[in-house]
Amino acid sequence: MNKLIELRKRMKERALDAMLIINRENSNKATSWYISGFSGSLALLLITGNSEYIITDSRYFTQASMQTSFKLVPYKGGGIEGIKIILDQLISTNAIKRLGFEAERITYFYFQNLLSDLGVELIESDDIIKTLRMVKTEEEVEKIKKAVNVAEASLIETLNMVKPGVTEREIAARLEYEMKKRGGNPSFETIAVSGNRSAIVHGTPSDKKISQGEFLLIDFGAIVDGYCSDITRTFAIGEPSDEMVSVYNIVYEAQKEAREAARAGITGAELHNVAKTIISNAGYGEYFGHGLGHGLGMEVHEHPSANPLNTEPLPEHSVITIEPGIYLPNKFGVRIEDDVFLTKEGCIVLTSLDRELKTL
């Protein structure tokens, strides 16, 4: 899939003369990188029917010339007024009248002081980029697999140091170190929570020491070559209680059934309800409050979503997470998360770590 060809096809359907993508100090780095190949922290991309421009400053002139074929338009300062002068010139040169932009990715300040003064008709076009990024090419899937491999190998190594007395913070730090050692970076702040803290869905690692007879929940991922992985595993430290085993097995079954049901064409709500029904029938429905999963790519959370509000079919060749959980306040939490690639026939699971309850 040629991204620019697909983008222009969608622009033509909306009768857009151009599309503007703004990445200011990494505010929209993923889309900027996705469209242009440029990974710097500052870029304004202007794509017309037959031209592509990148506006950036002197920090990135050399990098831009190496990473992208877009025509470099140097920004030499002057704040937002300096950017407006450049855009005014490009709009005039290319006779742009209808300009698409990502309303969800732009600040009020930029809208008021830059876009609203350009003298063009502004068209909110977030869905153009969202739908484009949802469908992954073979190359993108391979990059996600690479991020999965880095994350999984790093966790396996990290588990060697997990024992009672080690803190959550030490586990998270070691895991992030192992990912960096293997050429990746954390795709988000690693979650490593234990005991009653494992019931905090997005808890941050603390100085709490892990102890015998409790769960350790680790939610982690790597970003490699711009693409992310996102994985969760829950481990027992020493002998788990009967209740812990029972709850774990319910989550395990819900996740298994959701993986088997996952395919292109099922709606996000339908897939979510596969897992939700199993958990609810077991009596824990109120303790599974989040969506089953989310899209994954250059960002950890992107479209499409597998949640009860998404009645749209999940597209073929999208990558999503499947991550049901049960969280019992003041007791413990369990979550199992895998990354899957959707096809018409089903899904290809990109993660390979064991899902059965493992005792450390």
Alpha-carbon distance of 136 to 9, in angstroms, equals: 17
At residue 28 the predicted structure's pLDDT band, cuts being 50, 70 and 90, is: confident
Alpha-carbon distance of 349 to 260, in angstroms, equals: 10
User: By residue range, what is the domain housing residue 311?
Assistant: 138-359
Q: What is the per-residue pLDDT across 160-205, written as a single tens digit (0 to 9) for each?
A: 999 999 999 999 999 999 999 999 999 999 999 999 999 999 999 9
285: DSSP letter: G
Q: What is the per-residue pLDDT across 61-103, written as a single tens digit (0 to 9) for each?
A: 999 999 999 999 999 988 989 999 999 999 999 999 999 999 9
Q: Which region among 22-26, 61-65, 335-339, 349-353 has the lowest average model confidence (pLDDT)? A: 22-26
> Are 322 and 277 members of one domain?
yes
User: What is the helix (H) or strand (E) element at residue 148, kind and residue range?
Assistant: helix 138-158
> Are 126 and 228 members of one domain?
no
Backbone angles phi and psi of 247, in degrees to 5: -65, -40
> Are 246 and 291 members of one domain?
yes
Rounded average pLDDT over 307-333: 98
Structural domain total, the chain = 2
Inform me whether the pLDDT recorded for 1 exceeds 70: no
Place of tokens 């190998």: 153
Q: What is the CATH number of the domain that holds 111?
A: 3.40.350.10
Alpha-carbon distance of 88 to 69, in angstroms, equals: 22
> Are 238 and 295 members of one domain?
yes
20: DSSP letter: E
| Burial environment of residue 66 by CB neighbours within 10 A (0 to 12, 13 to 18, 19 or more) | exposed
| Burial environment of residue 281 by CB neighbours within 10 A (0 to 12, 13 to 18, 19 or more) | exposed
> Are 268 and 219 members of one domain?
yes
Task: Output the six-digit token pair for 343.
Answer: 């096809």
Rounded average pLDDT over 155-163: 98
SS3 163: coil
Rounded average pLDDT over 278-297: 98
Q: Which residues pair with 235 in a beta bridge?
A: 216, 358
Q: What is the CATH number of the domain that holds 194?
A: 3.90.230.10
Alpha-carbon distance of 332 to 235, in angstroms, equals: 11
Question: What residue type is 333 in one-letter code?
Answer: G
Mapping DSSP onto H, E and C, the string for 188-257 reads CCCEEEEHHHHHCCCCCCCCCECCCCEEEEEEECEEECCEECCEEEEEEECCCCHHHHHHHHHHHHHHHH
Boundary of a domain, candidates 133, 162, 190: 133
Q: For all residues of the chain together, what is the average pLDDT?
A: 97
Which residues fall within 8 angstroms of residue 33, CB to CB, at 6 or more apart? 39, 226, 298
Boundary of a domain, candidates 79, 110, 133: 133
The pLDDT of residue 254 is 99
Inform me whether the pLDDT recorded for 263 exceeds 90: yes
Inform me whether the pLDDT recorded for 117 exceeds 90: no
